[in-house]
Amino acid sequence: MIELAPSILSADFARLGEQVNRAAEGGGTVIHVDVMDGHFVPNITLGPQLVRSLRKATKLPLDCHLMIEDPDLYIPAFADAGADWMSVHYEACRHLDRTLNLVKNHGLQVGVVINPATPVGMLSEVLDIVDYVLVMSVNPGYGGQKFIPNSLRKVRELAQMREQRGLDFAIEIDGGVGMENIADVARAGVDWVVAGSSVFHAPDPAQAVREMQRAAEEALSVKV
Ligand code: DX5
Ligand code: ZN
């Protein structure tokens, strides 16, 4: 079973509540919230205040993807604003173990993210701490970029490590996923798919989510 996480990065921020609810009606089960600081990534997006407003607009869990330097400084504010899940980048954390535990200690589901150029092996020592691993399938910073095919190999490798070690973290993929590649993504073994422009740039976000979900399920049923 694959869950779809619509990413609000590509939504119309002036109509955010309405757009998020449309995506939820289509079957989105978690709202992906991209936090960018203009340092770790070359773009600036949103802060805890917006998360607080979103919290009131939807009942779905909020998956905050922190693309920021010094995440320890901001984790308490995002947790307080109503984040449910929170992921931090391997590349942004000098003391990754400490940062992951900080998120956990705030009672949130914790995820670790790797950029396209980071091998999955770098996560070996934290796989037993996290609830999910987010594999970036584009370089973080913008929506609407082209999917990097090598990411699927990384997903398969992670799924293998999970099995070998008897762990149960979920695998999430983020960037460049749409109708044209959702079947391949599903077959690689991801649990959660983040989708921004393919959902919110579609004429109807609800229908876009529905179609992607159906394509993923079909791909998995063919495999068996
Ligand atoms: C990119 C963000 C993504 C972004 C994906 O840095 O982390 O969550 O919204 O957008 P699409 O689905 O358009 O590639
Ligand atoms: Zn993201």
DSSP character for 44? B
CA nearest ligand 1 atom 6, residue: 140
**pTM listed for this prediction:** 0.98
Helices (H), 87-148: 96-105
Residue 194 is predicted with a pLDDT of 98
DSSP character for 197? H
Residue 110 is predicted with a pLDDT of 99
Residue 195 is predicted with a pLDDT of 98
**Residue 200: both structure tokens together:** 């919110």
Residue 1 is predicted with a pLDDT of 86
Rounded CA-CA distance 31/21 in Å is 10
Mutate to test the pocket of ligand 1, among 4, 35, 177, 194 (most ligand atoms within 8 A of CB): 194
**Which residues, 6+ apart, have CB-to-CB distance to 220 below 8 Å?**
2, 186, 187
- Give the tens place of pLDDT for each residue, 111-160: 999 999 999 999 999 999 999 999 999 999 999 999 999 999 999 999 99
Residue 83 is predicted with a pLDDT of 98
Mutate to test the pocket of ligand 1, among 4, 8, 10 (most ligand atoms within 8 A of CB): 10
Establish whether residue 197 lines the binding site of ligand 1, counting it when its CB lies within 6 angstroms of any ligand atom.
yes
Does 184 qualify as catalytic in the annotation?
A: no
Tell me the torsion sign for CA atoms 54, 46, 110, 121.
Answer: positive
Where the chain has pLDDT below 50, the residues are none
Contact 36, 44 (CB under 8 A): yes
Q: Which residues pair with 154 in a beta bridge?
A: none
Establish whether residue 89 lines the binding site of ligand 1, counting it when its CB lies within 6 angstroms of any ligand atom.
no
Does 174 qualify as catalytic in the annotation?
A: yes
